[in-house]
Amino acid sequence: MKDFIFQNPNLIEQRRSNRNNPTKAEQLLWERIRKKQLYGFRFLRQYSVGPYILDFYCPKMHLGIEVDGGYHKTNNQKRYDMEKEKFIKSTGINVIRFDNEEVLNKIGVVINKITEYLLQ
């Protein structure tokens, strides 16, 4: 069987489920970055890299964006997130993370941070 680094077909159902059931924070951020609203940059939702799925991905800038809920603060999830980020970075994709509260309460700050990365 062929190894898939990007858009692993074995993760199609999980990616579809994630797209159809976003968190409030993911939905809010998606509404602000979809349809090339951010300086014409295209973002994809639930993009898989190896065995992992990024919440959002900008192919042109090789930028992954993760929106972390409260469970990301547990030790097991922190370890998993570190492994995930290390693997994703090994493919040439940089990752920036925001927690749910930051997205929900400071969406302007979040958009500014993403914009800074895109325009650097």
Instruction: Kindly state whether residue 1 falls inside one of the protein's structural domains.
Output: no
- Each residue of 79-98: pLDDT tens digit? 999 999 999 999 999 999 99
Q: What is the pLDDT of residue 1?
A: 38
Full domain range(s) for residue 101: 9-119
CATH of residue 76's domain is: 3.40.960.10
Instruction: Kindly state whether residue 112 falls inside one of the protein's structural domains.
Output: yes
Instruction: Kindly state whether residue 97 falls inside one of the protein's structural domains.
Output: yes
φ, ψ at 92 (rounded to 5°): 95, 10
pTM as predicted: 0.92
Instruction: Kindly state whether residue 24 falls inside one of the protein's structural domains.
Output: yes
- Between CA 1 and CA 36 the distance in angstroms is 35
- Between CA 83 and CA 31 the distance in angstroms is 29
- DSSP category for residue 67: E
Instruction: Kindly state whether residue 4 falls inside one of the protein's structural domains.
Output: no
- Each residue of 3-40: pLDDT tens digit? 668 888 899 999 999 999 999 999 999 999 999 999 99
Taking alpha carbons only, the member of 81, 89, 67, 77 closest to residue 18 is 67
Structural domains of the chain, count:
1
Instruction: Kindly state whether residue 3 falls inside one of the protein's structural domains.
Output: no
Cβ atoms 109, 102 nearer than 8 A? yes
Q: Which amino acid, one-letter code, is at 118?
A: L
